[in-house]
Amino acid sequence: MLLHRLTDFARREPTTALLAPVFIIALFAGQVLGVSAPATLLARAAIFAIAALSLSFILGQGGMVSLGHAAPMGLGAYVTLSLSMLGFKDLLGVMACAFIVGALFSALTGLIALRTRGVYFIMITLAFAQMAYYAMSSLSVFGGTDGIALPLRSTLFGWPLLRSDSATALLALGLLAALFWGLSRVTRSRFGMALRASHLNEARFTALGFEPLPYRLMAYSFAGGISALAGVLLANLTDYIAPSFLDWHRSGELIVMVVLGGVARPFGAILGAFALIYLESLLGGLTQYWNLALGLILLAIVLARGRFERTARIAP
Amino acid sequence: MSPALLAVQILNGLDLGFILFLVASGLTLVFGVMDFINLAHGVQYMLGAYFAAALIAWSGSFWLGLVLGAAASLAMGLVLEWTVFRHLARAGHLEQVLATFALILIFTDGVSMIFGAGALSINLPPSLAQSVSFANGFSYPLWRLLVIAAGLAVALALWLLIARTRLGMLVRAGSTHPHMVQALGVDIDRLFLLVFAFGAMLAGFAGTMAGALTGVEPTMGDSVLILAFVVIVVGGVGSVRGALIAALLIGLVDTLGRAFATDIMSLFLSRSSAASAGPALASMLIYVLMALVLAVRPSGLFASGD
């Protein structure tokens, strides 16, 4: 009975079935081997889960495969840096500014990118993210390609909340939970349904008298703003901001997180983010060439999943 | 700016443009024919350069190594198509992004494991490692001129292949109406295999040409891949003619922008603010160009199906 349920579950949710054991093993092995300070790692995973969650929203609900989602995240970190250099470090104010900058960047680039579909959209979002990367690399105020240390961590009403990594981890987890709840509300709202409809059947959506672009642009900008919030927390965690925050490898990692966990499922993005961050830390502790190992694992998962899903579809 | 300096920068721009064309022409066909997003094309560029560097060192002959390197790139393209790409041809774009991203991680790390993370160099034979002098006192490296010549030759050959042969007809038809071509009984998978492997060879060849100028490193494909994407988006997916024109445009705009942005900015701004704003603006120039083209023509200058 239990076995039947398990195989049934694996057939319906092959990703979760494949990923859950990997997730649990990596989580425990990381703790046991002590390859990284647990609080820092937890904070990092939760922060990336926030960014991955926002990407999963536009990807799962709106079908927008953005390969530049690290750009608003990195811009959020640079907003934290520039405000801190000016002496302003109140967390709520910094987050508000970062949200606005991330959303504005996404809105401006989205205006161009969202007129296109498919491979065009993927390439254009990647190109705009790279533009932001090069722009930040060439600003000598922010240390150019080398990056620069964050002068002061953000505070909440003057209280040094983010002083320790465990507090940052708790804050990131809290924000993650709030966003998870909020985004699931948005998904079920009229706006969420319209967004989904614009992606699932654009012709019918338009025929019903809706205009797809405002919905898509709104969602895309909103996701950019949330990603920038993750950037604020990441800057406070690492204390060092470099253009590599906006690197397209980072955008690729965010896509990996979202796809690993299953695209249409917001919880999948969270699971994927934790799995990838812990897996990276675990492999990084074992070998210098951890990217190679990670790549092989990812490739195996994609190819195996394609095969598994094909057989699952054929079977009744 | 003197005329000689301007001429050198224009030649440099054409140089970059033809390298980009070699990379983008194969990639745009893969996108066009199969609607396949291949992030690993930059890896094929990088691998081609490593193959050539290793084979030139092994054979002791530059030309033999060059030819063997191109053959190795072609073989690598075939192997990758058989092992990975074939299984993803009908999957969604997301799976393709994920798998080709994984290939980037694998090969970038794999290459630095085998050859080391530092740069290798491809040593040109003495006959090629010289400069050509022009009348009004400026000289230009011969190899860079050969890159331009090779790019022109490949462009001509590709045009003949695509516009004048039966295979080219199928590729053209496949890039606009793949389902109809398949319904007419053409084995579109084999067409894809050919286009893919040929594109891998061109990318590898481009990597070799560029590697002889700048050195061969594991991450050399990254920036070229993104520039090639910009070229394809500007030129129109699936169009080799669009890729050629857009590649030259991007190459010239990027090179001339980097060379002269600070000078031009200092006409409006103070010396010091021009020195900091110039490079930032220059690095964004081609993306602004892309945005402008897309605002007017959302599917690029030469969209297939026009």
Give the list of residues 6+ apart from residue A245 with CB closer than 8 angstroms, or none.
Answer: A70, A73, A74, A77, A78, A231, A234
Cβ contact B106–A296 (<8 Å): yes
Q: How many domains does chain A have?
A: 1
Residue A292: its chain B contacts at CB < 8 A?
105-106, 109-110, 113
Interface-testing mutation among B37, B93, B98, with chain A (most A C-beta atoms within 10 A): B98
The CATH number for A98's domain is 1.10.3470
Give the separation between CA A194 and CA B204, rounded to whole angstroms: 45
Q: A12: burial class by Cβ within 10 Å (0-12, 13-18, 19+)?
A: exposed
B12: in domain: yes
Helix (H) or strand (E) holding A243, with range, is none
How would you classify the pairing of strands B131-133 and A240-241? unpaired
Q: What is d(CA A216, CA B8) in angstroms, rounded to the nearest whole number?
A: 46
In a domain, B224, yes or no: no
Rounded mean pLDDT of A200-210?
88
Two tokens, residue A233: 């927390």
Residue B231 lies in a domain: no
B201 falls within a domain? yes
Give the nearest chain B residue to A255 (CA atoms): B98
Average pLDDT in the A3-19 region? 64
User: How far is B24 from B235, CA to CA, in rounded Å?
Assistant: 10
Contact call for residues A253 and A171 (beta carbons, < 8 A): no
Nearest to B98 among A135, A259, A292 (CB): A259
Whether A15 maps to a domain, the answer reads no
Q: What is the mean pLDDT of residues A86-93?
A: 87
Position A2 scores a pLDDT of 64
Residue B250 lies in a domain: no
Please say whether the beta carbons of B197 and B72 come within 8 A. Answer: no
For residues B83-121, one letter each, b for 16 or more C-beta atoms within 10 angstroms of the residue's C-beta and e for the rest, the string is ebbebbbebebbbbbbbbbbbbbbbbbbbbeebeeeebe
Written as one string, the DSSP assignment of B76-124 is: HHHHHIIIIIHHHTTS-HHHHHHHHHHHHHHHHHHHHHHH-SSPB--PP
pLDDT in tens, A124-171: 898 899 889 988 888 878 888 888 888 878 877 777 777 777 788 888
Q: Please tell me which of the candidates A130, A255, A307 has its beta carbon nearest to residue B98.
A: A255
Q: Is residue B23 part of a domain?
A: yes
3-state secondary structure of A148: strand
Give the distance from CA A133 to its chain's centroid.
Answer: 17
Cβ contact A303–B283 (<8 Å): no
Say if CB A228 and CB A98 are below 8 A apart: yes
**Other beta carbons within 10 Å of A44:** 25
Q: Is B291–A112 a contact, with Cβ atoms under 8 angstroms apart?
A: yes
Give me the residues of A, 118-137, that contact B with CB < 8 A: 118-120, 122-124, 126-128, 130-131, 134-135, 137
> Is residue A10 packed enough to be buried (19+ CB in 10 Å), middle (13-18) or exposed (0-12)?
middle
Q: What is the pLDDT of residue A302?
A: 86
Question: Which of B94, B102, B280 has the CB atom closest to A263's CB atom?
Answer: B94
Distances (CA, A) of A219 to A246, B94, B298: 21, 19, 21
DSSP A142-182: GTGGG-EE-SS--BBTTB-GGGSHHHHHHHHHHHHHHHHHH
Question: Coil, helix or strand for B275?
Answer: helix
* Span A35-71, pLDDT tens digits: 545 778 888 998 999 999 999 999 988 889 899 999 9
Exposure of A270 by Cβ count < 10 A (0-12 exposed, 13-18 middle, 19+ buried)?
Answer: buried
Domain that holds residue B99: 3-218
Q: What is the pLDDT of residue B123?
A: 81
Angstrom distance (rounded) from CA B210 to CA B252 = 16
C-alpha to C-alpha distance for B98 and A257, rounded to whole angstroms: 10
What average pLDDT does the segment A216-243 reach?
94
Number of H helices, E strands in chain A: 13, 2
pLDDT of residue B47: 94
Question: In 3-state terms, what secondary structure has residue B107?
Answer: helix
| CA atoms in the 13 A half-sphere facing the CB of A20 | 9
Q: CA A64, A66, A71, A76: dihedral to nearest 10 degrees?
A: 30
Confidence band of A15 (pLDDT split at 50, 70, 90): low
Neighbours of B253 (CB within 10 A): 18
The answer, yes or no, to whether residue B176 has pLDDT greater than 80, is no
Domain containing A214: what range?
39-314
Per-residue tokens: A270: 């969270």
Task: Report the pLDDT averaged over residues B15-19.
Answer: 93
Greatest distance between any 2 Cα atoms in chain A: 64
- Asked whether the beta carbons of A219 and A195 are under 8 A apart, the reply is yes
pLDDT digits (tens, 9 = 90+) for B234-277: 998 888 888 999 999 999 999 998 888 777 777 777 777 777 77
Give every CB contact of residue A119 below 8 A, 6+ residues apart in sequence: B31, B35, B36, B37, B93, B237
User: B151-184 burial by CB neighbour count: b if 16+ within 10 A, else e?
Assistant: beebbeebeeebeeeeebebbbbbbbebeebeee
Contact B76, B204 (CB under 8 A): yes
In a domain, B29, yes or no: yes
CB of A107 less than 8 A from some CB of B: no
**What is the percent of chain B with per-residue pLDDT over 90, rounded to a whole number?**
31
Give the pLDDT of residue A95: 93
DSSP at B81: I
Does A24 map to a domain?
Answer: no
Q: Please name the helix (run of DSSP H) or strand (run of DSSP E) that holds residue B132, with its range, or none.
A: strand B131-133
Confidence of residue B75 (pLDDT cuts 50, 70, 90): very high
Domains held by chain B: number: 1
pLDDT of A251 > 70? The answer is yes
pLDDT reported for residue A315: 41
Confidence at A103, pLDDT banded by 50, 70, 90: very high
* Averaged confidence pLDDT in chain A: 84
Indicate whether B91 belongs to any domain: yes
Instruction: Determine, yes or no, domain membership for A29.
Output: no
Three-state DSSP at A129 gives helix
